[in-house]
Amino acid sequence: MLKLGVNIDHVATLREARYRGRGAGEPDPVAAALVCEGAGAHGITAHLREDRRHIQDRDIWDLREVIQTRLNLEMANAPEIVAIALKLKPDIICLVPERRQEVTTEGGLDVAGNLSALAETRKRMNDTGIEVSLFIAPDPAQIEAAARTGSQFIELHTGAFAEHYDDERGRMAELDRLIAGARQAHALGLKVNAGHGLNYQNLALIHRVPHLIELNIGHSIISRAVTVGLETATRQMLHLMENYPG
Protein backbone atom coordinates (compact mmCIF):
# COMPACT_ATOMS: atom_id res chain seq x y z
CA MET A 1 0.00 0.00 0.00
CA LEU A 2 1.33 3.42 -0.95
CA LYS A 3 1.29 5.69 2.11
CA LEU A 4 0.50 9.39 2.32
CA GLY A 5 2.42 11.84 4.46
CA VAL A 6 0.69 15.22 4.58
CA ASN A 7 2.98 18.23 4.82
CA ILE A 8 1.30 20.88 6.96
CA ASP A 9 3.84 23.68 6.44
CA HIS A 10 1.44 25.75 4.35
CA VAL A 11 -1.11 25.83 7.16
CA ALA A 12 1.57 27.50 9.27
CA THR A 13 2.45 29.80 6.34
CA LEU A 14 -1.11 31.13 6.36
CA ARG A 15 -1.03 31.62 10.13
CA GLU A 16 2.31 33.41 10.06
CA ALA A 17 1.09 35.81 7.37
CA ARG A 18 -1.11 37.42 10.02
CA TYR A 19 0.20 36.30 13.41
CA ARG A 20 3.98 36.19 12.95
CA GLY A 21 5.83 36.76 16.20
CA ARG A 22 2.82 35.91 18.35
CA GLY A 23 2.40 32.81 20.48
CA ALA A 24 -0.88 31.82 18.89
CA GLY A 25 -3.01 32.34 15.81
CA GLU A 26 -5.07 30.62 13.18
CA PRO A 27 -5.14 28.31 11.36
CA ASP A 28 -3.46 25.87 13.71
CA PRO A 29 -1.15 23.39 11.92
CA VAL A 30 -1.42 20.93 14.80
CA ALA A 31 -5.21 20.85 14.54
CA ALA A 32 -4.81 20.45 10.77
CA ALA A 33 -2.49 17.49 11.30
CA LEU A 34 -5.10 15.77 13.45
CA VAL A 35 -7.74 16.26 10.74
CA CYS A 36 -5.40 14.68 8.19
CA GLU A 37 -4.75 11.73 10.49
CA GLY A 38 -8.46 11.31 11.04
CA ALA A 39 -9.02 11.28 7.29
CA GLY A 40 -6.57 8.40 6.87
CA ALA A 41 -3.15 10.00 6.31
CA HIS A 42 -0.34 7.66 7.31
CA GLY A 43 1.96 10.38 8.58
CA ILE A 44 2.51 14.10 9.10
CA THR A 45 5.44 16.06 7.70
CA ALA A 46 6.62 19.44 9.02
CA HIS A 47 9.72 21.43 8.07
CA LEU A 48 11.35 23.38 10.88
CA ARG A 49 13.37 25.86 8.85
CA GLU A 50 16.29 27.79 10.29
CA ASP A 51 14.48 31.09 9.60
CA ARG A 52 11.21 29.78 11.16
CA ARG A 53 9.20 31.21 8.29
CA HIS A 54 6.26 28.88 8.88
CA ILE A 55 6.50 25.99 11.37
CA GLN A 56 7.56 27.20 14.82
CA ASP A 57 9.31 25.30 17.59
CA ARG A 58 6.09 25.08 19.60
CA ASP A 59 4.38 23.42 16.65
CA ILE A 60 6.81 20.52 16.42
CA TRP A 61 6.71 19.87 20.16
CA ASP A 62 2.91 19.89 20.10
CA LEU A 63 2.94 17.58 17.06
CA ARG A 64 5.24 15.15 18.84
CA GLU A 65 2.74 14.93 21.71
CA VAL A 66 -0.39 14.33 19.63
CA ILE A 67 0.58 12.57 16.39
CA GLN A 68 -0.43 8.91 16.50
CA THR A 69 0.86 7.88 13.07
CA ARG A 70 4.34 8.93 11.97
CA LEU A 71 6.03 12.30 12.46
CA ASN A 72 8.48 13.23 9.71
CA LEU A 73 10.64 16.26 10.50
CA GLU A 74 12.11 17.92 7.41
CA MET A 75 15.25 19.80 8.31
CA ALA A 76 18.58 21.19 7.18
CA ASN A 77 21.75 19.55 8.40
CA ALA A 78 22.39 22.53 10.69
CA PRO A 79 23.71 22.17 14.27
CA GLU A 80 20.77 23.99 15.91
CA ILE A 81 18.14 21.94 14.10
CA VAL A 82 20.02 18.68 14.57
CA ALA A 83 20.09 19.33 18.33
CA ILE A 84 16.34 19.98 18.37
CA ALA A 85 15.63 16.79 16.40
CA LEU A 86 17.70 14.67 18.77
CA LYS A 87 15.60 15.95 21.69
CA LEU A 88 12.28 15.83 19.83
CA LYS A 89 12.76 12.28 18.57
CA PRO A 90 10.47 12.28 15.52
CA ASP A 91 9.93 8.90 13.91
CA ILE A 92 11.98 9.96 10.91
CA ILE A 93 13.85 13.02 9.70
CA CYS A 94 14.30 14.05 6.08
CA LEU A 95 17.43 16.09 5.46
CA VAL A 96 16.85 18.75 2.82
CA PRO A 97 18.85 21.63 1.32
CA GLU A 98 17.76 25.03 2.57
CA ARG A 99 18.28 28.48 1.10
CA ARG A 100 16.92 31.73 2.51
CA GLN A 101 15.75 33.11 -0.85
CA GLU A 102 13.67 30.12 -1.95
CA VAL A 103 9.90 30.02 -1.58
CA THR A 104 9.99 26.30 -0.81
CA THR A 105 12.68 23.64 -0.92
CA GLU A 106 14.09 23.57 -4.45
CA GLY A 107 16.46 20.88 -5.66
CA GLY A 108 17.92 17.95 -3.84
CA LEU A 109 20.81 17.53 -1.44
CA ASP A 110 24.35 17.27 -2.74
CA VAL A 111 25.02 14.06 -0.85
CA ALA A 112 28.13 13.20 -2.81
CA GLY A 113 29.70 16.54 -1.88
CA ASN A 114 28.74 16.35 1.79
CA LEU A 115 29.07 12.64 2.46
CA SER A 116 30.96 12.81 5.75
CA ALA A 117 28.71 15.42 7.39
CA LEU A 118 25.51 13.66 6.34
CA ALA A 119 26.81 10.27 7.45
CA GLU A 120 27.68 11.70 10.86
CA THR A 121 24.18 13.15 11.33
CA ARG A 122 22.65 9.89 10.11
CA LYS A 123 24.56 7.98 12.77
CA ARG A 124 23.57 10.37 15.54
CA MET A 125 19.92 10.09 14.56
CA ASN A 126 19.97 6.31 14.24
CA ASP A 127 21.70 6.00 17.61
CA THR A 128 18.69 7.83 19.09
CA GLY A 129 16.19 5.58 17.30
CA ILE A 130 15.32 8.05 14.53
CA GLU A 131 15.23 6.88 10.92
CA VAL A 132 16.87 9.07 8.27
CA SER A 133 15.81 10.02 4.76
CA LEU A 134 17.72 12.16 2.26
CA PHE A 135 15.85 14.41 -0.19
CA ILE A 136 17.65 13.97 -3.50
CA ALA A 137 17.21 14.28 -7.23
CA PRO A 138 16.95 10.99 -9.16
CA ASP A 139 20.65 11.20 -10.04
CA PRO A 140 22.71 7.98 -10.00
CA ALA A 141 25.70 9.56 -8.25
CA GLN A 142 23.54 11.05 -5.49
CA ILE A 143 21.64 7.82 -4.96
CA GLU A 144 24.90 5.90 -4.70
CA ALA A 145 26.19 8.43 -2.18
CA ALA A 146 22.95 8.23 -0.19
CA ALA A 147 23.46 4.50 0.23
CA ARG A 148 27.00 5.14 1.44
CA THR A 149 25.73 7.38 4.25
CA GLY A 150 23.86 4.43 5.75
CA SER A 151 20.51 6.22 5.56
CA GLN A 152 17.37 4.11 5.62
CA PHE A 153 15.39 6.12 3.05
CA ILE A 154 15.70 8.51 0.19
CA GLU A 155 12.94 10.85 -0.91
CA LEU A 156 13.06 11.33 -4.65
CA HIS A 157 12.58 14.96 -5.61
CA THR A 158 9.66 14.98 -8.05
CA GLY A 159 9.80 18.72 -8.72
CA ALA A 160 11.28 18.45 -12.23
CA PHE A 161 8.61 15.91 -13.16
CA ALA A 162 5.89 18.25 -11.90
CA GLU A 163 7.36 21.27 -13.69
CA HIS A 164 7.52 19.40 -17.02
CA TYR A 165 4.12 17.74 -16.65
CA ASP A 166 2.43 19.85 -19.34
CA ASP A 167 5.11 18.90 -21.87
CA GLU A 168 4.71 15.24 -22.87
CA ARG A 169 8.34 14.71 -23.85
CA GLY A 170 9.62 16.45 -20.74
CA ARG A 171 7.35 14.68 -18.30
CA MET A 172 8.15 11.25 -19.73
CA ALA A 173 11.88 11.97 -19.58
CA GLU A 174 11.56 12.99 -15.93
CA LEU A 175 9.33 10.02 -15.17
CA ASP A 176 11.96 7.71 -16.65
CA ARG A 177 14.56 9.31 -14.36
CA LEU A 178 12.34 8.66 -11.34
CA ILE A 179 11.77 5.03 -12.37
CA ALA A 180 15.49 4.44 -12.85
CA GLY A 181 16.28 6.17 -9.56
CA ALA A 182 13.78 4.11 -7.61
CA ARG A 183 15.14 0.89 -9.09
CA GLN A 184 18.73 1.85 -8.30
CA ALA A 185 17.88 2.85 -4.74
CA HIS A 186 15.95 -0.35 -4.13
CA ALA A 187 18.84 -2.42 -5.44
CA LEU A 188 21.15 -0.62 -3.01
CA GLY A 189 18.89 -1.46 -0.06
CA LEU A 190 17.34 1.99 0.32
CA LYS A 191 13.64 2.52 0.97
CA VAL A 192 12.08 5.00 -1.42
CA ASN A 193 9.71 7.89 -0.77
CA ALA A 194 8.89 10.72 -3.17
CA GLY A 195 7.55 14.24 -3.08
CA HIS A 196 7.52 17.86 -4.28
CA GLY A 197 4.98 19.30 -6.68
CA LEU A 198 2.74 16.24 -6.67
CA ASN A 199 -0.94 17.04 -7.10
CA TYR A 200 -4.34 15.65 -8.07
CA GLN A 201 -3.51 15.91 -11.79
CA ASN A 202 -0.04 14.37 -12.02
CA LEU A 203 -0.28 11.70 -9.36
CA ALA A 204 -1.54 8.94 -11.65
CA LEU A 205 1.75 8.80 -13.57
CA ILE A 206 3.71 8.39 -10.34
CA HIS A 207 2.10 4.94 -10.07
CA ARG A 208 4.61 3.87 -12.72
CA VAL A 209 7.52 4.47 -10.35
CA PRO A 210 8.32 1.18 -8.56
CA HIS A 211 9.22 0.50 -4.93
CA LEU A 212 7.59 3.62 -3.48
CA ILE A 213 6.63 3.49 0.18
CA GLU A 214 5.30 6.98 0.88
CA LEU A 215 4.45 10.20 -0.93
CA ASN A 216 4.85 13.46 0.96
CA ILE A 217 2.37 16.02 -0.34
CA GLY A 218 1.48 19.39 1.11
CA HIS A 219 0.68 22.39 -1.07
CA SER A 220 -1.83 20.64 -3.32
CA ILE A 221 -3.81 19.20 -0.42
CA ILE A 222 -3.86 22.46 1.54
CA SER A 223 -4.85 24.38 -1.59
CA ARG A 224 -7.77 22.07 -2.33
CA ALA A 225 -8.83 22.23 1.31
CA VAL A 226 -9.73 25.91 0.82
CA THR A 227 -12.69 24.83 -1.31
CA VAL A 228 -13.58 21.31 -0.14
CA GLY A 229 -12.20 21.13 3.39
CA LEU A 230 -9.07 19.41 4.68
CA GLU A 231 -10.68 16.07 5.49
CA THR A 232 -12.16 15.76 1.99
CA ALA A 233 -8.96 16.93 0.31
CA THR A 234 -6.95 14.31 2.20
CA ARG A 235 -9.43 11.54 1.38
CA GLN A 236 -9.45 12.51 -2.30
CA MET A 237 -5.66 12.25 -2.45
CA LEU A 238 -5.71 8.89 -0.70
CA HIS A 239 -8.26 7.68 -3.24
CA LEU A 240 -5.95 8.61 -6.09
CA MET A 241 -3.17 6.63 -4.42
CA GLU A 242 -5.17 3.41 -4.24
CA ASN A 243 -4.14 0.36 -6.27
CA TYR A 244 -0.50 1.39 -6.54
CA PRO A 245 1.18 -1.64 -8.13
CA GLY A 246 4.42 -1.26 -6.16
Lowest mean pLDDT among 19-28, 89-98, 136-145: 19-28
What distance in Å separates the CA atoms of residue 31 and residue 6, rounded to the nearest whole number? 13
Residue whose C-alpha is closest to residue 45's, from 55, 24, 53: 55
The DSSP secondary structure of 170-183, one letter per residue, reads: HHHHHHHHHHHHHH
Domain residue spans of the chain:
3-240
The overall longest dimension of the chain from CA atoms, in Å, is: 48
Predicted structure pTM score: 0.94
- Active-site residue set: 47, 74, 196
Please give the DSSP secondary-structure letter assigned to residue 112: G
| Predicted local confidence at residue 21, as pLDDT | 84
| Predicted local confidence at residue 127, as pLDDT | 98
| Predicted local confidence at residue 187, as pLDDT | 98
The mean per-residue pLDDT over the stretch 96-115 comes to 77
Q: Is 40 left (phi over 0), alpha (psi -120 to 50) or beta?
A: left
Confidence of residue 40 (pLDDT cuts 50, 70, 90): very high
| Predicted local confidence at residue 246, as pLDDT | 80
Q: What is the mean pLDDT of the chain?
A: 95
CATH number of the structural domain 3-240: 3.20.20.70
- Is the Cβ–Cβ distance between 164 and 196 less than 8 Å? no
Q: Which stretches within the chain are classed as H helix?
A: 9-19, 29-38, 57-66, 79-88, 115-127, 140-149, 159-163, 168-187, 203-206, 219-228, 230-240
